[in-house]
Amino acid sequence: MKLLRSDLPLAADAASRFLPWIAGLMVYLAALALAGVLALDGVAERWHVGLAGSLTVQIEAPADGLTASRQDRRDRAVALLRAEPAVAQAEPLDDAAVRRLLAPWLGTIGAGDDLPLPDLVAVTLRPGADLDVAGLGRRLAAALPGVTVDDHKQWLGDLLRLIAAVRLVAAIVLALVVLAAVATVVFVTRTGLDIHRRVIDIVHLIGATDGYIAGEFQAHALRLGLLGGLGGLALAGATLLLLAGLLAGVDASLLPPLSLAAWQWCLLAALPLLVALLAMLTARWTVLRSLRRTL
């Protein structure tokens, strides 16, 4: 292919050694930043689907510790919740489910452990229901002291703000890397023009156009960009696989699996080509601009 070969001796330029390294670094950082944002978006979506339109009601264990008192408080709380027009379903969680939820923080809790566990009630709201969560919490606390309502909207809002901050940091990193890559390509291309000035003047005299000379440099930049980009992608893939292996041992209740869909992997795989195209277009623009100034 014409884009993958060069008629000028550009491969011998010492400055060209930097371009594959910069392209590889750009792809590596871009792949990690993009994979992190995509994975966090997936986690947020799964949590949003699982928690949107739901509440959790916590009922403190009674001071006397009697099972009958605990059961009475739970039944009364469930009855009050089911009487709410906005509530579609209110189901108390059994002790085994509560132990599983607390295990990441308290470890394995046995049935015989002398630990007062709260009762939890999973509440599902009706679609489109407008519920005053604070008012519901006050009514429940007035009827049953020690009852609290956990609104997942606030927690999800904090998560979305965190993801927005991560997106901003990733965008800044990508912008800085792109600027560094463009500056490197401009430097390498201008250096090549200076080194091969006599050859360029000769080919101009025998009829070569500026477009032909620009094509030689852009093919060289494309080749080096692809070479470095593929290396950066391989290193990024190894890093992501290592992180996935480390995260596999983390309890899913603390951090859901960070996984990417097939189309997201394809997007990451396209990064070397995008970087190579950026290098090619930058080289072409630099050559044409420089030749117009000097000829």
What is the DSSP track for 180-242? HHHHHHHHHHHHHHHHTHHHHHHHHHTT--HHHHHHHHHHHHHHHHHHHHHHHHHHHHHHHHH
Kindly write down the DSSP assignment for every residue of 160-189, as one continuous string. HHHHHHHHHHHHHHHHHHHHHHHHHHHHHH
The type of residue at 59 is I
Residue 111: CB partners within 8 Å, gap ≥ 6?
95
The closest alpha carbon to 166, from 274, 47, 42, 275, belongs to 42
Supply the pLDDT for residue 17: 79
Q: What is the mean pLDDT of residues 126-149?
A: 83
Predicted confidence band of residue 12 (pLDDT cuts 50, 70, 90): low
pLDDT band at 34 (very low <50, low <70, confident <90, very high): confident
Q: With 70 as the cut, is the pLDDT of residue 266 above it?
A: yes
Instruction: Give the pLDDT of residue 197.
Output: 82
Of the two residues 129 and 121, the one the predictor is more confident about is 121
pLDDT at 71: 82
Q: Which segment of 34-48, 173-187, 249-263 scores lowest on mean pLDDT?
A: 249-263
When pLDDT is averaged across residues 55-67 and rounded to a whole number, the result is: 75
What is the percent of the chain with per-residue pLDDT over 70, rounded to a whole number? 81
Confidence grade of residue 1 (pLDDT, cut at 50, 70, 90) = very low
Q: What is the mean pLDDT of residues 190-197?
A: 83
pLDDT for 261: 79
Sign of the dihedral defined by the CA atoms of residues 284, 286, 291, 292, in that order:
positive
**Is pLDDT at 278 greater than 70 in this prediction?**
yes
Rounded Cα gap, residues 23 and 45, in angstroms: 32
Residue 28, pLDDT > 90, answer yes
Task: Quote the pLDDT of residue 3.
Answer: 47
Please, what's the largest Cα pairwise distance for the chain?
Answer: 102
Instruction: Please state whether the predicted TM-score (pTM) of the whole model is above 0.85.
Output: no
Q: What is the mean pLDDT of the chain?
A: 80
pLDDT for res 112: 47
267-283: average pLDDT: 91
| Mean pLDDT (whole number) for 12-26 | 80
Q: What is the pLDDT of residues 155-186, one digit of tens each?
A: 777 777 888 888 888 888 888 888 888 888 89
User: In the prediction, which pLDDT does 227 show?
Assistant: 92
